[in-house]
Structure 1
């Protein structure tokens, strides 16, 4: 649900008057980058925090340690691993963010009560609405304009942008590429024919890989991101947790909430993020985007593709 440029490690707690001083996202990015170098117990604690960042502000150190299955002093070691003197310093930005609060959907409670009728299905509709609205709110409360613009500028400047998704992420990747091609000619969805890693192996350093995977994380996406970074290809990663293995190597990393009352993840926030990224790509594209889209649809109308 948030974006932070990979590699930005905090050196201790920020000053209270520093811009972003109450922003826990650089801390989560630092934990993500440090995961591979942490001891097993500290890595277990860090992974729990990355998967449940909302609990840091509202749960005691002992309670969080118990939930993570580690000893309390392991959380202290985790905090020190990313530059803090102790756990309370580490925790402070999370508490400040919680105190500041996030914007809420207007009259959400009344809206949800109004649809929570009709027995079991009314309650299910209300649960789905609450989860969907919460996911989108959390995304737009945290996502950074500068990070989105930087990612979009990479795509605009690339010789080729490959958008990679498999499983439930495959239609997300294909829709992003499909809409992008109405305006620009350097975006395509992969895998094409064969394996994703085959497509990545043909990429060059002046290309860009947009990769997405959500828990349980797909091995072919992880391998494709690893190969891209080894070849010096910029990677824009989209996933559902700072513990996701495709975020630490990324040039730009975005985390989207996927909460759902059902036993599958919600894609609503991921779709919203990709639409915003696409809007930024088109806003900064060097070509005449409006003219290109008009010509795209005009060609289809002339060919009889659209119903009169």
Structure 2
């Protein structure tokens, strides 16, 4: 059975953990921009954790479910309806066969994740089901697309095949979504010292706005023009998500999930991996500011987050075994 795409939304694509280990042949990672939200969406429907979800950007798709399914929505708050019923995010919902799920806009944030119990039956490419729009591996959803669903193990909930339903418990999104838009942790890059003093002060003391030119490849930052103390002649080096580069325009860019595997612009900073999902949730026009972090601090925060995620996923799995 399958899910039919009636309306594709603004930019919706299938994303999983990403396509890692292929940079040597020029293929980047891709994958979910907000990794914790992707993991928790899968956890809420009892998936193993590596299934592809639909990543929605700013405006979600409208989908018809040809069979009954359990779903979950996480990430940015998003309007979700089946007929006249509103569905809450960050919990587990049941849709009977024939349901039309309408996903609307996001009043805050940029990306939401729709997981389906069992996952989407999409053939992996180089070990991943992620769409890499920049590289042309997969594409954004289009009206008329039909997404096959993998076989699922039903949850033991009375009446689950007869009506829209919602489990009586869910997750608090506060620890996993940056409602307060706190500063993003930034490590010094290899060319940080080449920035002039005024530029260094602005990076860590001023603010930028997310540009309308931002996408899954890079978040472009509008604001005060940054300058180097003197020009640099560089050769391309390996690149990865989170690297803050300074192109000739003087407006910095931060490489994101679909980052190219090499780049030749000066590297003035590196976003702490733990804060990349928070930056991914900043939408065009949002303000972003940065605070300095050491490598040790960044690693400690990342380890603590991963421990909390692992504990929460185990707890969710235990609750799903006894959902009533």
When the two structures are superposed, what TM-score results if normalisation uses the length of structure 1? 0.27
Larger proportion of helix: 1
Larger proportion of strand: 2
When the two structures are superposed, what TM-score results if normalisation uses the length of structure 2? 0.26
